[in-house]
Amino acid sequence: MDPMLTARDISCVQANREIFRIDHFALMRGEVLAMVGPNGAGKTSLLLTLALVHPAAAGTIVFDGETAHKGNLLQLRRRMAVVFQESLLFNMSVQENLMVALRIRGVSRKDASYRTEKWLKRFGIAHLARQSARSLSGGEAQRTSLARAFALEPDLLFLDEPFAALDYPTRNMLLKELGQLLKDMKMTTFFVTHDYSEIPYLAQRTAVLYDGRIVKCGTNAEIFGQENLERRAWVPWE
């Protein structure tokens, strides 16, 4: 398989404490990979490092065949999108949240308008286009955040526990929709979660991060066993 992103010998150090050290990691083109691990394992720090938001203390990250360095970080980051647990929307309308993000990345006004309309419809929030982002419910805000990410047409999507703050019915509906969308688009995705029940909807493989190290990586069945995954009965880092 063709890797979209690889990392070798990367590490992260904060306040003189090593957060993670990864000897080798590969995310294949078109796959959705879930990452799980206990609180404090370094999942979000690793995501931000792979997304080229936080610099690694050491090591090499290669994105689509190009090694990341200070001179090309902005260029590479513009081919990625990140969705967090908090929607992090601008204090403006839903429509403007998408338009501004696209215009910042150099998309023409005409194309930005087309993409905005397309993805607001796709995520079922076109009727909220002129509503203030600050007035949205949690589910509406996360739909807006996802619509903005997809409108950017990224080559690589990062999802950092995007459903954690949602109520069960909203989360379940959005998981099903997003899972089908990622499958249809074959979008390469790195998905961090603490809830095993989300994994079958989105991911084909799972990596386990424990104490800053990837201790297991394989298909969902290899990591959990199908019965355990459905029942969430087994902690894979124990």
Confidence tier at 229 by pLDDT (50, 70, 90): low
**pLDDT value at position 187?**
96
Asked if residue 203 and residue 191 are part of one domain, the reply reads yes
Q: What is the mean pLDDT of residues 4-33?
A: 96
Asked if residue 184 and residue 208 are part of one domain, the reply reads yes
**pLDDT value at position 109?**
96
Q: What is the mean pLDDT of residues 70-85?
A: 95
- Does the structure show a pLDDT above 90 at 226? no
Asked if residue 103 and residue 122 are part of one domain, the reply reads yes
- Name the domain boundary from 120, 153, 186: 153
- Does the structure show a pLDDT above 90 at 191? yes
pLDDT in tens, 42-55: 999 999 999 999 99
**pLDDT value at position 227?**
63
Asked if residue 158 and residue 148 are part of one domain, the reply reads no
More confident site: 236 or 130: 130
Asked if residue 195 and residue 105 are part of one domain, the reply reads no
200 occurs within a structural domain = yes
Asked if residue 160 and residue 236 are part of one domain, the reply reads yes
Asked if residue 158 and residue 144 are part of one domain, the reply reads no
Number of independent structural domains in the chain? 2
- Does the structure show a pLDDT above 60 at 205? yes
- Name the domain boundary from 137, 153, 169: 153
- Does the structure show a pLDDT above 90 at 236? no
Residue type at 184 in one-letter notation: D
Q: What is the mean pLDDT of residues 63-74?
A: 96
169 occurs within a structural domain = yes
pTM of the model: 0.94
Q: What is the mean pLDDT of residues 175-202?
A: 93
Asked if residue 236 and residue 158 are part of one domain, the reply reads yes
Q: Domain range holding 51?
A: 1-79+154-238
224 occurs within a structural domain = yes
Asked if residue 181 and residue 224 are part of one domain, the reply reads yes
Asked if residue 173 and residue 142 are part of one domain, the reply reads no
Mean pLDDT for all residues in the chain: 93
Asked if residue 226 and residue 141 are part of one domain, the reply reads no
Asked if residue 182 and residue 207 are part of one domain, the reply reads yes
84 occurs within a structural domain = no
Q: What is the mean pLDDT of residues 21-31?
A: 96
- Percent of the chain clearing pLDDT 70 (strictly above): 95
- Does the structure show a pLDDT above 70 at 133? yes
- Does the structure show a pLDDT above 80 at 232? no
**pLDDT value at position 196?**
86
- Name the domain boundary from 153, 181, 203: 153
211 occurs within a structural domain = yes
Q: Please count the residues of the chain.
A: 238
Q: What is the CATH number of the domain that holds 188?
A: 3.40.50.300
Confidence tier at 104 by pLDDT (50, 70, 90): very high
Lowest-confidence region among 91-95, 128-132, 168-172: 168-172
Residue 37, phi-psi category: left (phi > 0), alpha (psi -120 to 50), beta (remainder): left
57 occurs within a structural domain = yes
pLDDT in tens, 152-182: 999 999 999 999 888 888 889 999 999 999 9
126 occurs within a structural domain = yes
213 occurs within a structural domain = yes
